[in-house]
Amino acid sequence: MSYDIKKSVRYVALQALERIQQGGAYSNLLLKEEIDKGELSQQDSRLLTELVYGTVSRQLLLEFYLQPFISKAKKVNNWVKLLLELSIYQLYYLDRVPDHAVLNEAVEIAKIRGNSGIGKFVNGVLRNIKRQGLPKTSTIKDPTERLAIQMSMPKWLTKKLIEELGTEQTKQLGDSLFSPSRVSLRVDTHRISRKNALASLAENGIEAVESTISEYGIIAEKGFIGKSDLFKKGFLTVQDETSMLVAPMLQIEKHHQVLDACAAPGGKTTHIASFLSKQQKGEVTALDVHEHKIQLIKENAKRMEVDEVIRPEKLDARKVNETFDEASFDRILVDAPCSGLGLMRRKPDIKYGKKPADLEKLAQVQLEILESVASTLKPMGILVYSTCTILSEENQQVVEQFLQKHSEFELMDMPISKSLASSLHNKMLTIYPHQYNTDGFFISCLRKKR
Sequence ranges of the binding site for S-adenosyl-L-methionine:
262-268, 288, 316, 335
Under 8 Å CB-to-CB from 448, ≥6 apart: which residues?
374, 377, 378, 379, 380, 381, 382, 383, 408, 409
**DSSP conformation class of 240:** -
Burial class (CB in 10 A: 0-12, 13-18, 19+), 114: middle
Reduced to 3 states (helix: H, G, I; strand: E, B; else coil), residue 67 is helix
Cα separation, 182 vs 382, whole angstroms: 31
Which candidate in 388, 420, 428, 429 is catalytic?
388
CB atoms within 10 A of CB 138: 8
Counts of helices then strands in the chain (DSSP H, E):
21, 13
Cα separation, 88 vs 378, whole angstroms: 58
Reduced to 3 states (helix: H, G, I; strand: E, B; else coil), residue 444 is strand
Long-range contact pairs involving 93-97 (C-beta distance under 8 Å, separation at least 24) = 93/54, 93/58, 94/50, 94/54
Cα separation, 282 vs 275, whole angstroms: 9
Cα separation, 9 vs 348, whole angstroms: 20
Determine the Cα angle at 25 with ends 20 and 31, to 5°.
Answer: 85
Alpha-helical runs (H) found in 114-215: 116-132, 143-151, 155-165, 167-176, 194-203
Strand partners, 234: none
Using CA of residue 268, residue 378, residue 408, residue 424, what is the dihedral sign? negative
The residue count for the chain: 450
Residue 338 annotated among the catalytic residues of the structure = no
CB of 444 closer than 8 Å to CB of 401: no
The candidate with the shortest Cα–Cα distance to 263, out of 248, 280, 243, is 243
Cα separation, 209 vs 21, whole angstroms: 36
Catalytic residues: 388
